[in-house]
Structure 1
Amino acid sequence: MSRSGESDSDRINVAIDGPAGAGKSTVARKVAEKLGYIYVDTGAMYRAVTLAANRLGIEPHESDRLKKLVESIHIRLKPVVDGQIVLLNEEDVTNAIRTREVTLRVSQVASHEAVRMKLVDMQRELASLKGIVMDGRDIGTQVLPQAELKIFLIASVQIRALRRYQELKENERIPLQQLEQEIADRDRSDEQREISPLSCAKDAIVLDSSELTIDQVVALILDLSRTKMAEAK
């Protein structure tokens, strides 16, 4: 049965890539909701692996231990009314994966081939029936290269840092300049890693969200999605 009331042939997969803090998760979640599709937050999956590694004292450079870890844990994304819950071995870690300790290490953990291979297999399986909106850093280039619509969402480092700053609780806030540096470092790490680096697919549409609201970005992607759906009929 179709998840959106459409026939299987009408549904498409939407890949949304871009650097940290560009608004991918919020946009992807809203687009999926409007289309009646399933939202898959791949970043949350890598954060769950990182959280598990942190809890066990596994350092990002310990490839063998990370490989054993990712083969032994179970990650599940459970849709709920206002988004999704991230379950690690059936424990709700939706909030725990958003700490700074996880944020500062997730790029290093995600760079390991064994980690990416395991999670990419899971992501492709989720998308096999179509009707998926998936966001990350290599969805259009590596995970779902056949996605009918590919978006590469960008924003300036300064705008992304300000957004992150505003998201942090008052007692968790660090200097804005430090956040800018961390985001710039994360960009460099994501772009230079050997396994599935952050890059824009040749057939992706680049959207700069620096001067746009979330709702404006969502509206643009919905228009593009409907055009692709019409082409798929």
Structure 2
Amino acid sequence: MNKKITIAIDGFSSTGKSTVAKQLAKELGYVYVDTGAMYRAVTLYALRKNFISEQDFDKKALVADLPAVKLKFIFNPEVGFGEMYLNDENIEKEIRQMEVSQYVSKVAAVPEVREMLVAQQQEMGKEKGIVMDGRDIGTVVFPDAELKIFMTASAEERAQRRFKELSERGEDVTYKEVLENVQERDLLDTTRKDSPLIKAKDAKEIDNSHLTLTGQFERIMDLYRATITN
């Protein structure tokens, strides 16, 4: 029986981290945790409470309300992964909307939000046998993860994927809006003071601008096999 390890997948928005992380978890029988969904859930909470808008972001009010934010993943066998619940409400679909995407990097930059969620994420990974994706998994959440992957692709390619995904869901967005959102999130994610998006020194970089999903999955499985045999 193979030893269980921790797999940390970091990278820019819309690089398909969640897609490949779910594939890996299913293939290996590991637990999958989408940390982005956790930050999106807090962002949705802030939007619902009117703590954040285009004009204003009341960080103090959000921080004061954090004890009221209860997050958990509940496995849905129909989709094959754990869906995000906020205070016992399934918000999986709502957190994927463009409105949440517009503000999630700002909410994720709040130190108290990161502190709360990182502690929860580290608790989830104590038993190993976990695949977690996000922005700071290999650098902050699990710096000792046995396998670290850093995913990247051009902003234009990522915006095209995101635009297609949102359009297929019926959202009324333009490619230009999505590209600007991707570029803004990149800037916020890489320049924030607390846990910025950076590639861990021991992470394996995968640029999937021109990789098929199958090709990408096979490459990561090769990295996994090399890791557990070392």
Q: Give the TM-score band, short-chain normalised.
A: over 0.9
Could you say which residue in structure 2 is the equivalent of 1:47? 40
Matched, 1:206 2:205: yes
Count the aligned residue pairs. Answer: 224
Could you say which residue in structure 1 is the equivalent of 2:31? 38
TM-score of the superposed pair, with normalisation by structure 1: 0.92
Letter in 2 for 1:174: V
Letter in 1 for 2:74: K
Residue 166 of structure 1, CA deviation = 0.9
Q: Secondary structure at the match of 1:172?
A: coil
Could you say which residue in structure 2 is the equivalent of 1:172? 171
Could you say which residue in structure 2 is the equivalent of 1:24? 17
Could you say which residue in structure 2 is the equivalent of 1:140? 138
Could you tell me how far apart the structure 2 residues matched to 1:215 and 1:64 are? 45
Could you say which residue in structure 2 is the equivalent of 1:62? 58
Could you tell me how far apart the structure 2 residues matched to 1:177 and 1:213 are? 24
Could you say which residue in structure 2 is the equivalent of 1:3? none
Equivalent runs, 1:147-158 vs 2, <5 Å:
147-158=145-156
2:116 aligned to which of 98, 111, 118? 118
Residue 72 of structure 1, CA deviation = 1.7
Structure 1 runs not aligned, ≥5 long: 1-5
- Cα deviation code 1:135-182 (max 9, x no counterpart): 000111111100000000001111101101110135424221222121
Could you tell me how far apart the structure 2 residues matched to 1:156 and 1:209 are? 9
Mapped contact 2:51–2:59 kept (Cα < 8 A) = no
Residue 80 of structure 1, CA deviation = 2.6
Could you say which residue in structure 1 is the equivalent of 2:68? 72
Question: Identity of counterpart residues, as a percentage?
Answer: 43
TM-score of the superposed pair, with normalisation by structure 2: 0.93
Could you tell me how far apart the structure 2 residues matched to 1:133 and 1:29 are? 8
- Cα deviation code 1:29-69 (max 9, x no counterpart): 11111111000000000000011111111127322211122
Could you tell me how far apart the structure 2 residues matched to 1:177 and 1:31 are? 32
